[in-house]
Structure 1
């Protein structure tokens, strides 16, 4: 095993072990169905857990301990939703909210399905009110992919509106910033089915990212932005799966060094003294919130980087965009 492969395995094993040990932090509280409930502190973490674990199970062998741990976490997430029944109740309470469909889609990608919810969601998705809801282009892309996963409709490899996203517009590379970074990673995740279909990323985007992702990643890691850095490492892994290039070993060494004692990864390099004053405080809610997403992203990126590369696509010709699907205005 190479040094890079060891780093990837170390990160993946440690990150998922920490997540498993803190699965209670992902549990839905009694306010999960409340109109004024904090979705970002309940459904969002559970959906992120489900999505990462779904990808891990799809890219690892059943005999791999990582696969078994991810499968167990998926089963936990499904039980938290009462085997999908809470999605149907949410849909009835908030028929035009998109987050129930987005969280459900992550579980559906792992084969966990609730037919009654899918039928109800499909009815709402046919309304003009649903289709005309104003959304950020990247978020819209995610909703469309969620609809596709749930059988509402099929989008193909170049979903509508891709060219309206920050990454899809091929912006000047010096305009990259934190918000743009998170937007571009999710465009790649949605296009590639969260890394499981890397060849679906349009070749023009692969070519653009091959040129500019390395300096962006270096900038984020230099600044101690481990959460965004982990997402960019996942994008680098998707790109590498199509080009056949090696993942950035030096970047992975930095991430390994940034981990906490139990394999957790912090969001960033802010002073954590107020989050964990002693060993017992590492189990506190604030500590969890400062580590859970970046730790999930580290596991996600490590598994993607360690997976076998896909067949490389043809590099986009000059002036040609989105595989013949049409150029943006």
Structure 2
């Protein structure tokens, strides 16, 4: 698991310029999924890693450096203010900003402007699917926008999601799988609150996650497999080591990782694919390789950090050394301030 995480972050670090924002990021015709989405996912994963792993861990240092790079790409928050003024009712700027805010990287002028818009009926009535709306509610809280929603709205929204309805387990498919992982991410503050799941959801996932993990691993759906491994690490039953199904999933993920550290979203890594001249590897360009690998590679690092952090916290709890709720307690000088599927999908 740690080897996978080191390889993944090494690949991300080597390709960090591919996460950089360009002129398209502020263009009305720009594609959010090619600009803000990758950068926001990089920020979210690195923010979690710096909270779940101790400062002495090399993974923590790599994640912190990447997080600083991502924050610089936003002009230390200034670009969020420009985005908010250009698209006042778009939720993705706040969703991406919330990832930085959770790591203590804040822009007060943006938060003030976003809060003004969030108090309008237009913002509160924006039509979204339940999983996305739950993510926006979490982003509001993390982004410093409080008191604009009626009490209990998050619980009401939760019960409208696929996972919140406790559906028949055989109805699981890729779309519902991604929806359920993001519900868990939102409820557990992206893997940092070990007891964020309601008991009925935790029991349901404890029972049905193992066959879903096995199914996705057999289908070589590595991106979803890694997201489900995060869910496994967030369950109350998760102890000092992954269960047998999770261990098998990690073995499969490790086998899918290429020598440079990248993990494809689906299927074999580039060096295992056929179709090129003489039956060799099929040729793809750097942009294509990045697009098909960056998210699953980030998710592998994310899953490893949450799993390792949970195990460390469990051992510390038993030893009475001060970690609680799956969160590493860093010295005061290194602590960050505590701050869908959607913009961060």
TM-score range, shorter chain: 0.7 to 0.9
Structure with more relative contact order (C-alpha pairs < 8 Å, separation 6 or more): 2
Task: Report the CA distance between 1:305 and its aligned residue.
Answer: 1.1
Alignment-derived partner of residue 14 in structure 1: 7
8 Å CA contact retained: 1:105, 1:146: yes
Counterparts of 1:31 and 1:256, CA distance in 2: 35
Q: 2:253 aligns with which of 252, 255, 266?
A: 255
Matches within 5 A, 1:94-113: 94-113=87-106
| TM, length-normalised to structure 2 | 0.83
Alignment-derived partner of residue 75 in structure 1: 68
8 Å CA contact retained: 1:157, 1:201: no
3-state SS of 1:67 partner: helix
Q: 2:239 aligns with which of 244, 262, 267?
A: 244
Alignment-derived partner of residue 120 in structure 2: 127
Counterparts of 2:22 and 2:274, CA distance in 1: 25
8 Å CA contact retained: 2:137, 2:154: no
Q: CA offsets, 1:111-136, max 9 Å, x none?
A: 10000000000111110000001101
3-state SS of 2:24 partner: coil
Counterparts of 2:13 and 2:275, CA distance in 1: 20
3-state SS of 1:44 partner: helix
Alignment-derived partner of residue 268 in structure 1: 266
Q: Flag the 1:72–1:274 CA change in 2: closer, same or farther, 3 A.
A: farther
3-state SS of 1:31 partner: helix
Counterparts of 1:112 and 1:223, CA distance in 2: 39
Q: CA offsets, 1:39-86, max 9 Å, x none?
A: 000000000000000000001111111111101101100000001000
Alignment-derived partner of residue 338 in structure 2: none
Counterparts of 1:286 and 1:100, CA distance in 2: 25
Counterparts of 1:275 and 1:29, CA distance in 2: 33
- Flag structure 2 segments of 5+ consecutive residues without an equivalent: 318-345
Q: CA offsets, 1:123-150, max 9 Å, x none?
A: 1111000000110100000000000001
3-state SS of 2:144 partner: coil
Counterparts of 1:92 and 1:293, CA distance in 2: 29
Which portions of structure 1, spanning 4 or more consecutive aligned residues, are displaced by more than 4 angstroms? 154-158, 270-279, 309-312
Q: Flag the 1:29–1:218 CA change in 2: closer, same or farther, 3 A.
A: same
Are 1:137 and 2:130 matched, yes or no? Answer: yes
Counterparts of 2:94 and 2:121, CA distance in 1: 17
Q: CA offsets, 1:281-315, max 9 Å, x none?
A: 77711000010000000000011111235679xxx
Q: Flag the 1:242–1:62 CA change in 2: closer, same or farther, 3 A.
A: same
Task: Report the CA distance between 1:159 and its aligned residue.
Answer: 3.7
Q: 1:307 aligns with which of 291, 306, 309?
A: 309
Alignment-derived partner of residue 195 in structure 2: 199
Alignment-derived partner of residue 228 in structure 2: 232
| TM, length-normalised to structure 1 | 0.87
Are 1:296 and 2:292 matched, yes or no? Answer: no
Alignment-derived partner of residue 326 in structure 2: none
Q: CA offsets, 1:167-194, max 9 Å, x none?
A: 0000000100000000000000000000
Alignment-derived partner of residue 342 in structure 2: none
Residues paired across the two proteins, number: 304
Alignment-derived partner of residue 289 in structure 2: 287
Alignment-derived partner of residue 27 in structure 2: 34
Q: Flag the 1:113–1:270 CA change in 2: closer, same or farther, 3 A.
A: same
Alignment-derived partner of residue 172 in structure 1: 168
